[in-house]
Chains A and B, each alone.
Chain A
């Protein structure tokens, strides 16, 4: 267990380091950073001061050291568009993104888990078919399009829910469904096939032969074992939650980090974009690490494997 943990934490750190290196290399590949930060009204003193702070007259590895040092302190430079530290802008936006992510996760569990179990237990029925359709849409419809279609149906045509923004409480419903759909579909499919496997296993047959009731078999003997692949998958695909929030926040004008990243892209605001990317990666890597630790805790085969 300890070896596994150490390896896993090391990987997370190296990943963050790799991302910071990519961002640094790209910031230099994009051209002289002095041209990004300074405009026509800047003086020679500004120019020299920036040369000094970024270490532009020093070799690249030294510059990367400076970059990494200030990144560790949470200093990613000034956002060009906002004219204030990038980190400040990000902290303002963070709550909205976390709120949306939580709501989407809740949706995916509330819809995916029960439907997955029911689809397996009542295989071949109407319920199973419904589950299948939800899963197929989640697997193949692009998130941005799904979001727009939800807007078209529930906001434009039916006028039940607000189409965008974050003014009302009900504003969160459509973005959360759009973002959570993929996960709901994945949970559903994985749980269904895992349940079918478990229900077919020797120990469930033995339990049945002993005369254990159907409910106990489903909830106690089967579900616990069937949840393992669901958890594995959650760890692997957390990345698409990040991707998804970029897209969904853009579609619904949800004022979070994802929308900020796209605004930075559109406004050529590299200092802001790099900060958002680092924060996103940090969140993602931490979440994946937690899932993996939980996973090892639940499944002894990983710990000792």
Chain B
């Protein structure tokens, strides 16, 4: 059995707290800077000041504040995406597993097709055709995550519906929605929690990739991906502009994965891998 992942949980707690309380924590305005203070190195480097702990970017904006507000974007996008994607996935998974037949066949073929189309390509097409906005990003990412939820929930439902307690509920005259939500749904919650923690990492990576490519939440909103992109051509003069937000992405995703692995071992021992 894995140990409780304390450090990853701590990092996640910090990530969530900074995301929620960003305006209270951030020392400066993330979207405004003064050009006189541009490209200042982090405090521990020569020439850095404690006024800007992680330095400033090419427009003189405080890196620390931008990284803090970036957490907020990632957190909001990930949360909204998961709620939407999970909702669609659970609904279609329940329907496919419970009704079977042509409903199942159609839904699962749609899942197959979706899983066969690279998400980023789909995102680029949607963004170019419909424009860049928060809603589009969330829609694209939700489309990306729902199939896995649908497929897993369907599998669980197929198993659960053969159980005696479901047959008993039927005999007792429970309606189909009642059976689905009161009797079957609680049985898939464990799988959902595990899947959701593992998917958050993927969503954060996708979102930052889209921002990096210029197809994410539009600037000047400080998203981690677009901040890395800002520093691309300035590696030689100001390496911290790209490095800091990238580190934030990596630490968050890493912690999410380690936490998800631990949770999977705890809640769903069938999926456990030899460590």
Interface residues of A (CB under 8 A from B): 11-12, 14-15, 18-19, 22-23, 26-27, 29-30, 136-137, 139-145, 148-149, 151-152, 156, 163, 193, 196-197, 200, 236, 239-240, 242-243, 246-247, 250-251, 261-262, 264-266, 268, 270, 273-274, 277, 280-281, 284-285, 288
Main secondary structure of the interface of B (DSSP, over half): helix
Interface residues of B (CB under 8 A from A): 109, 112-113, 115-122, 124-130, 201, 205, 208-209, 212-215, 225, 228-229, 231-232, 235-236, 239, 242-243, 246, 249-250, 253-254, 257, 273-275
Question: Are the CB atoms of A273 and B128 closer together than 8 Å?
Answer: yes
Question: Are the CB atoms of B274 and A196 closer together than 8 Å?
Answer: yes
B128 interface neighbour in A22, A30, A149, A239, Cβ under 8 Å? A30
Residues of chain B lying within 8 A (CB to CB) of residue A242: 118, 120-121
Question: Are the CB atoms of A142 and B212 closer together than 8 Å?
Answer: yes
Question: Are the CB atoms of A11 and B112 closer together than 8 Å?
Answer: yes
Report the separation of the CA atoms of residues A201 and B4 in the bound assembly, to the nearest whole angstrom: 29
Residues of chain B lying within 8 A (CB to CB) of residue A15: 112-113, 116-117
Report the separation of the CA atoms of residues A227 and B121 in the bound assembly, to the nearest whole angstrom: 30
B235 interface neighbour in A14, A137, A152, A264, Cβ under 8 Å? A152
Known: A141-B250, A265-B128. A251 touches B232 (CB 8 A): yes
Residues of chain B lying within 8 A (CB to CB) of residue A243: 118-121, 209
Determine which residue in B112, B205, B253, B274 has the highest number of CB atoms from chain A within 10 A of its CB, and name it: B274
Report the separation of the CA atoms of residues A137 and B124 in the bound assembly, to the nearest whole angstrom: 26
B117 interface neighbour in A19, A140, A152, A193, Cβ under 8 Å? A19
Question: Are the CB atoms of B235 and A200 closer together than 8 Å?
Answer: no
Question: Are the CB atoms of B249 and A142 closer together than 8 Å?
Answer: yes
5 other A-B residue contacts (CB within 8 Å) besides A14-B109, A142-B205? A26-B128, A140-B250, A140-B257, A141-B253, A144-B229
Report the separation of the CA atoms of residues A277 and B120 in the bound assembly, to the nearest whole angstrom: 10
Report the separation of the CA atoms of residues A197 and B117 in the bound assembly, to the nearest whole angstrom: 32
Residues of chain B lying within 8 A (CB to CB) of residue A281: 117-118, 121
Known: A140-B257, A148-B246, A152-B235. A26 touches B273 (CB 8 A): no
Report the separation of the CA atoms of residues A78 and B114 in the bound assembly, to the nearest whole angstrom: 29
Known: A145-B242, A265-B128, A265-B215. A280 touches B209 (CB 8 A): no
Residues of chain B lying within 8 A (CB to CB) of residue A26: 125-126, 128-130
Question: Are the CB atoms of A140 and B213 closer together than 8 Å?
Answer: no
Known: A142-B249, A149-B246. A239 touches B118 (CB 8 A): yes
